Amino acid sequence: MARIPVAVVGATGLAGQQFLAALDGHPAFELAALAASPRSAGKAYGDAIRDEKGASRWFAEGRVPDAFASLPVQDAAAFDPRAVSLVFSAVDGDAARELEAIWARTTPVISTASAFRMEPDVPLVIPPVNPDHVELLEEQRRRRGWKGFVAPIPNCTTTGLAVTLAALEPAFGVEAVLMTSLQAVSGAGRSPGVGALDVVDNVVPFIPREEEKVESETRKILGLLEGGEIRAHPMGLSCTCTRVSVLDGHTESVSVRLSRRASPAAVAEAMRAFRAPADVEALPTAPARFLEVHDDPYRPQPRLDREAGGGMTTAVGRIRPDPVLGGAKYVLVSHNTKMGAAKGAILLAELVHARGLV
Amino acid sequence: MARIPVAVVGATGLAGQQFLAALDGHPAFELAALAASPRSAGKAYGDAIRDEKGASRWFAEGRVPDAFASLPVQDAAAFDPRAVSLVFSAVDGDAARELEAIWARTTPVISTASAFRMEPDVPLVIPPVNPDHVELLEEQRRRRGWKGFVAPIPNCTTTGLAVTLAALEPAFGVEAVLMTSLQAVSGAGRSPGVGALDVVDNVVPFIPREEEKVESETRKILGLLEGGEIRAHPMGLSCTCTRVSVLDGHTESVSVRLSRRASPAAVAEAMRAFRAPADVEALPTAPARFLEVHDDPYRPQPRLDREAGGGMTTAVGRIRPDPVLGGAKYVLVSHNTKMGAAKGAILLAELVHARGLV
Amino acid sequence: MARIPVAVVGATGLAGQQFLAALDGHPAFELAALAASPRSAGKAYGDAIRDEKGASRWFAEGRVPDAFASLPVQDAAAFDPRAVSLVFSAVDGDAARELEAIWARTTPVISTASAFRMEPDVPLVIPPVNPDHVELLEEQRRRRGWKGFVAPIPNCTTTGLAVTLAALEPAFGVEAVLMTSLQAVSGAGRSPGVGALDVVDNVVPFIPREEEKVESETRKILGLLEGGEIRAHPMGLSCTCTRVSVLDGHTESVSVRLSRRASPAAVAEAMRAFRAPADVEALPTAPARFLEVHDDPYRPQPRLDREAGGGMTTAVGRIRPDPVLGGAKYVLVSHNTKMGAAKGAILLAELVHARGLV
Amino acid sequence: MARIPVAVVGATGLAGQQFLAALDGHPAFELAALAASPRSAGKAYGDAIRDEKGASRWFAEGRVPDAFASLPVQDAAAFDPRAVSLVFSAVDGDAARELEAIWARTTPVISTASAFRMEPDVPLVIPPVNPDHVELLEEQRRRRGWKGFVAPIPNCTTTGLAVTLAALEPAFGVEAVLMTSLQAVSGAGRSPGVGALDVVDNVVPFIPREEEKVESETRKILGLLEGGEIRAHPMGLSCTCTRVSVLDGHTESVSVRLSRRASPAAVAEAMRAFRAPADVEALPTAPARFLEVHDDPYRPQPRLDREAGGGMTTAVGRIRPDPVLGGAKYVLVSHNTKMGAAKGAILLAELVHARGLV
């Protein structure tokens, strides 16, 4: 079967590099175009990621895929998406609002940027959690008169939390969530990213705008799509987001108030039983299990568990009763640059493709 | 004024070394005797902390105080406390139960061990929080027929939490607390301590028995001493304790349900206004303020704030409403081997001395 | 073809775990027996690596291979090697001298221990460097009257250095080497291993006995086997070994005095052209290249380059003239627990098997 | 005695902040003016170092000195130095060449920038090493027609090395030096500084232009001032500079070829006997000893030894023979932002002041 031509815009940054790594050898998507800032425009990709000393600044695993190193990088601001069937956007917040809207007039855009996440006609989809929200894309097209659409993925800190809550909601009813995150440095990108001065022998107790994003995004993702709009889930949410000296993999300490009594064993059972719809489980980038439960109290650990399921599985452990919220508490680890960013966006692209939206 | 002769038992470990560092030049206590395991017995202290290569394994700041390097180390199991007026005990859990009870027959014991913390006739005192609980020591003496007593300090993770709650309790009433800690590696001591393999690029989501200690100790410390016994505070408590790649200084993300409405500004004000009784504030090891509030949202950070007040001040920041608990949330940093261990024990010794119990 | 039954002794430690990870699915070796200390004896392997809390202490990648979790662990001191054709020994230094000699009476032993490395009739083989030294094993058998033999691999810090020198020796002649290592924490094993207190925000400038090992082992490996004995290479060697906050992958800064003029380009060319004998390159665990040269001055980096060739490739970069030694200098990265330990030992086992010694 | 009014230009960066921390309470210098980039100009210093969230980005110890927080920040490009008697410049390389030359027309400039370090009429002075080189400043004034002068300090990696070589040169004669550094992240400043992605679980084997600087600066510092010019020391030098996960304190592994035989004991003795001229030892910022020798083979370590002498003492250990160079080898630790930057610049200012050049 012929593969679908796709583009990556914002291709030279950390998220863009993760896109390239994940698209290398992809069965359905063929990387046909690359774009980035004017500084990179006109160069071959392999040259565009070199620094002033000629050194390659490739931060994903392995090396730049050979097939991509010679692809020319276009200027994102002048990029014409009509040559491809799908655009993966990893551009930064401010530019995203303007550029993604332009591209979406003609072409579907899957984005890691936050610009459109909270728009009423924009679904915020994690395929194993709320795949049916992709239907809102039709509504978006209609309202905006676009041939394409913008489908963003959530913040990397939202993803693991939403996956675990999706396993609890049907069985027990989620009423409120308290979460403290211990986030990896790769979540902040590369330029400038988190400084070594901030995390050597240290914790930074604040990540600008992160807590608000997790709170509003989680409610939207677990909300109900009805009559062309999403009613946010009414759960209470209170987050504290911190940065620690970990490379990849966000750790989250979560307490949940549940509508129905749930012993730790019942919570573990619900998480172990969690399944995505069959068509989601069949997507090329889907792991064998989106949720994995550890009995070992020393797990999950980011270094040991972030790569589970190719970085697409959320690992959970330390499931205990929470006497204060009257529900359960647990610790999760989710890979912030895989399930929480580029590979998560590719999974979403696979879903919209499988459901005939591309 | 003549200084009081004191002993440090368990002198060669990490906590013992911190005791020596803190007793160097102390105005009221004179280090007169040292004891440790049989392996060290009979050696001069400076030799006892050398490894098999002859290298000094001193982990506190600076160097071994000159005056102490030549002190002979006695065998803890055979140590006779009658030569001193006070024993600082940093022995490990199992030995503590047996040995501290023996020493206490004749001599007051201030201990960092957990053995006696939850005994009904044993006060668990943080001088700025519950100094009057030292009165229970008289009851302890009477009941046990001891001339001395055992006065333990709490777990290092309890201390900062209890200090902040003590500032909130009188003004707003503490009903419930949810806490996630990001603990430093020095809290686990040296032998074996936390392995580098566990914390490089990693978080460990479990510290055995830590959460239970923090929960029960905090209730006892904030409890009411009445009729010769302590009624534990009825607050709900739910803790998750993790280990991160930080050398010193425990960071804690805290959410509190309060009996009365408390805006973040009011919470900050109550914390800023927090004062210990005058005689506690006058103790030699007391800092200018036991609590310090930061407006900067990036603070407190363990590396920047752990040494505030000579390691005796709890730093608080990020005070915000907690919509789930209906109270407030904040982040604190407390120095685990200073206020939370040896220097905290010395502060307690200063208190029992000032109040005439030694 | 039937696989050869092998045993791993010292199976529960860090090196032992790496053996199991590397033997999982091995085409030629079938893990048939496991042994460890008396504490583990009698348990299933999966249980033997649990700690007192029941938590699995598995430190290699992924999980304990399913096929091995239920294998019973024998007492190493009572282990009878005759049930297998080959023993992989990861026992600690002191026990190794005694036990490996006992096993070798009947069965070939491939060892990561240092006990026998410098014995005159014991070859110290890195397959791409000095594969022909395995012939000395026949001499060893004859002299000692053993049916088996002991074939140790070198110290993990020696390996990468020796591979690079092997590429330079034939072309330019190695006269002297100055090396400073920046070693990973996993090189010290787990019990107790390197403490977090030692490497957070720190460098430890000393690793007991490491420098002497690298110096003598490198001379032996690059020496000449003639008349049943190895004449050590006469090169001068001066090493300084340090420990840094890196998980896996030793970095080494190397300066070499060469007999013949060698421009950086010529040195790079010699390294790029480096090939092992055809039968070594065909071994199952051999990487496509044993040496890889980077032009990027920011490479090699342990985190980015340690996994090259499945952890079996030595990465080299920063090749420059050394004006002081009159030769060349460069930086290398070599995986200390793969090429430098368990996988390196398996590669050696594959070699002795391919050459008919097992 | 009235204190001399001084200015700090580049006051908001990491080096600038270190200047302020070191000038707080200085007995001879009074901070009278501050300047920085246009972005900060016109603000009070305390506001100029806040980020867009209003958070104070102060990275030196403690807090912004109260006396300095309200000082207005001027635009460095428009700064008029005539209001002060001395300018401390921490401006970045390119601007330094232009601006320092302008300021020096009227006012002495002590600089941490590299712009003028290798100019023939510019001395490169480390007070305990080559204090007499300050005489070249008179020559500089004459040649350039300046009333002031530019006196730079060397690169932070040069300093510790030069101090140790200065102790060896008179006794043994230094012929050649091989050095590998393990440098702290603070050496690269804050904006952008070293990224956490680069040093978590990693080593970076390259620091642009660093090795060349250390090599040429060391020769100049140990050179001979004669007839109005400095003849560089003819020693051979070969450096490899790497970055490790350490906050402050550069560690260097050094091998030296000496003209005369020198046992490790003799080398240690020469280092212990090292003294600066009496007027240098009497400077306010001078430590009790500029060199400290450890017998403990595990020392020096950056975290334990960087603060020796208030960060002004170079710590040395592991002194051994170097069989390849036929001299000695050792490991040193030197504080890169104290002796190697701001405090070192203040020490130099104290020297030029004491010698009547200001």
| Amino acid B14: pLDDT | 87
User: In Å, what is the CA distance from C138 to each residue of C105, C133, C355?
Assistant: 13, 10, 12
Whether residue C245 lies within 8 A of chain D, CB to CB, comes out as yes
Residue of chain A whose Cα is closest to the Cα of B297: A206
Beta bridge partners of D316: D293, D332
Question: Residue with structure tokens 């070198």?
Answer: C154
| Amino acid A142: pLDDT | 96
Whether residue D52 lies within 8 A of chain B, CB to CB, comes out as no
CA D294 – CA B56 distance, rounded (Å): 11
D250 catalytic per annotation:
yes
How many helices (H) and strands (E) would you count in chain C?
A: 12, 14
Nearest-CA distance C202 → chain D (Å): 5
CATH number at residue A288: 3.30.360.10
For residue A189, pLDDT beyond 80: no
Q: Are residues D69 and D176 in the same domain?
A: no
- In chain B, what residues touch C247 (CB-CB under 8 Å)? 197, 200-201
Cα-Cα-Cα-Cα dihedral sign, residues D180, D184, D185, D189 = negative
Q: What band does B244 get if pLDDT is binned at 50, 70 and 90?
A: very high
For residue B55, pLDDT beyond 90: no
Q: Which residues of chain C have pLDDT under 70?
A: 1, 53, 189-192
Nearest-CA distance B215 → chain A (Å): 11
Whether residue C302 lies within 8 A of chain D, CB to CB, comes out as yes
Q: Are residues D246 and D109 in the same domain?
A: no
Q: Are residues A19 and A95 in the same domain?
A: yes
Q: Are residues B123 and B173 in the same domain?
A: no
Q: What band does D302 get if pLDDT is binned at 50, 70 and 90?
A: very high
CA D33 – CA D242 distance, rounded (Å): 36
Contact call for A200 and D199, based on CB within 8 A: yes
Among all residues of A, which ones are annotated catalytic? 156, 250
Among all residues of B, which ones are annotated catalytic? 156, 250
CA C57 – CA C59 distance, rounded (Å): 6
CA B269 – CA B288 distance, rounded (Å): 17
CA B152 – CA B216 distance, rounded (Å): 14
Q: Are residues A212 and A83 in the same domain?
A: no
How many helices (H) and strands (E) would you count in chain D?
A: 12, 14
Kindly provide the residue ranges of all beta strands, DSSP E only, lying in C10-92, ordered along the sequence: 29-36, 73-75, 86-89
Please give the DSSP secondary-structure letter assigned to residue A243.
E
Given a contact cutoff of 8 angstroms between Cβ atoms, the answer to whether D168 and D254 are in contact is no
Q: Are residues D145 and D268 in the same domain?
A: no
Which of D197, D199, D204, D306 should we substitute to test contact with A (largest number of A Cβ atoms within 10 Å)? D197
- The CA-to-CA distance between both ends of chain B, in Å, stands at 15
pLDDT digits (tens, 9 = 90+) for D212-226: 999 999 999 999 999
Q: How many Cα atoms are found within 13 Å in the side-chain-facing hemisphere of D234?
A: 4
Beta pairing, strands B236-243 & B149-152 = unpaired
Q: Are residues A207 and A120 in the same domain?
A: no
Contact call for C206 and D297, based on CB within 8 A: yes
CA A80 – CA D249 distance, rounded (Å): 51
For residue B205, pLDDT beyond 80: yes
pLDDT digits (tens, 9 = 90+) for A193-210: 788 989 999 999 999 999
Contact call for C203 and D180, based on CB within 8 A: no
| Amino acid C50: pLDDT | 86
| Amino acid C315: pLDDT | 98
Whether residue A93 lies within 8 A of chain D, CB to CB, comes out as no
Nearest-CA distance C276 → chain D (Å): 27
Nearest-CA distance D52 → chain A (Å): 10
pLDDT digits (tens, 9 = 90+) for D104-127: 999 999 999 999 999 999 999 999
Hey, what are D32's tokens?
């009278």
Nearest residue to A301 (alpha-carbon basis) of C320, C59, B325, D135: C59
On the 0-12 / 13-18 / 19+ scale of CB atoms within 10 A, A69 is: middle
The percentage of residues in chain C with a pLDDT greater than 70, rounded to a whole number, is: 98
Q: What band does B190 get if pLDDT is binned at 50, 70 and 90?
A: low
CA B218 – CA B233 distance, rounded (Å): 8
Cα-Cα-Cα-Cα dihedral sign, residues C283, C286, C291, C292 = positive
Least confident span in A42-51, B71-80, B105-114, B155-164: A42-51
- In chain D, what residues touch C325 (CB-CB under 8 Å)? 178, 238, 324
Q: Please give the single-letter amino acid code of residue D196.
A: A
Cβ neighbors of B145 (< 8 A, separation 6 or more) are none
pTM, two decimal places: 0.95
Q: Are residues A130 and A144 in the same domain?
A: yes
Beta bridge partners of B182: B242, B251
- In chain D, what residues touch B54 (CB-CB under 8 Å)? 296
User: In Å, what is the CA distance from D137 to each residue of A62, D225, D240, D345, D354?
Assistant: 53, 11, 32, 15, 14
Name the catalytic one among D239, D241, D250, D353.
D250
| Amino acid A58: pLDDT | 83
Q: Which helix (H) or strand (E) holds C212?
A: helix C210-221
- The CA-to-CA distance between both ends of chain C, in Å, stands at 15
Given a contact cutoff of 8 angstroms between Cβ atoms, the answer to whether B302 and A203 are in contact is yes
Q: What band does D347 get if pLDDT is binned at 50, 70 and 90?
A: very high
Q: Please tell me the total count of domains within chain D.
A: 2
CA B153 – CA A18 distance, rounded (Å): 50
Q: Are residues B27 and B169 in the same domain?
A: no
Nearest-CA distance C306 → chain D (Å): 10
Q: Are residues B225 and B327 in the same domain?
A: yes
pLDDT digits (tens, 9 = 90+) for C324-347: 999 999 999 999 999 999 999 999
| Amino acid C192: pLDDT | 66
The angle formed by the CA atoms of residues B264, B266 and B272, to the nearest 5 degrees, is 100
Q: Are residues D162 and D137 in the same domain?
A: no
Closest CB from D177, D253, D323 relative to C242: D253
Closest CB from B55, B297, B298 relative to D298: B55
Given a contact cutoff of 8 angstroms between Cβ atoms, the answer to whether A243 and A185 are in contact is yes
Contact call for C203 and D244, based on CB within 8 A: yes
Hey, what are C357's tokens?
């010694």
CATH number at residue D98: 3.40.50.720
Nearest residue to A152 (alpha-carbon basis) of A178, A115, A185: A115
Whether residue C54 lies within 8 A of chain B, CB to CB, comes out as no
Nearest residue to B44 (alpha-carbon basis) of B79, B88, B11: B11
Q: Domain range holding D199?
A: 156-334
Q: What band does A50 get if pLDDT is binned at 50, 70 and 90?
A: confident
How many helices (H) and strands (E) would you count in chain B?
A: 12, 14
Q: Are residues C310 and C170 in the same domain?
A: yes
